[in-house]
Amino acid sequence: MFTSEKGVVEEWLSEFKTLPETSLPNYATNLKEKSSLVSSLYKVIQEPQSELLEPVCHQLFEFYRSGEEQLLRFTLQFLPELIWCYLAVSASRNVHSSGCIEALLLGVYNLVFFFFTNNL
């Protein structure tokens, strides 16, 4: 990963932490327009040894559980790649580097299951 891509991801990680909750809808709408961020996040996900993978997975989970529809959709676009990387890492028996991906996938599954069981 290039330094510029790493900088884009690090900036994204830090800007959400300082965001007031009232700004979430506007932030979420603008997020989908950041194509350099999306491509940089895909590169982080594809590198299981990246030091940014754990904070990225954590932030994607925070987006998913925020209740903001645009943030939820932002997270969902990465699920196929996350599943693919999780399966690839699991097949290589390098389970240590897949823990944060596994936690994110399990968390998303649990939230979906909880939502559907409570809305029946």
**pLDDT of 54-100, one tens digit each?**
999 999 999 999 989 999 999 999 999 999 999 998 888 776 667 89
Whole-number average pLDDT of the chain: 89
pLDDT higher at 116 or 45? 45
DSSP secondary structure letters along 85-107: HHHHHHHTT-GGGGHHHHHHHHH
How far apart are alpha carbons 36 and 117 in whole angstroms?
37
pLDDT (0 to 100) of residue 106: 94
Please name the residue that has the structure tokens 């603008």: 30
pLDDT higher at 85 or 120? 85
4 is written with which tokens? Answer: 């510029």
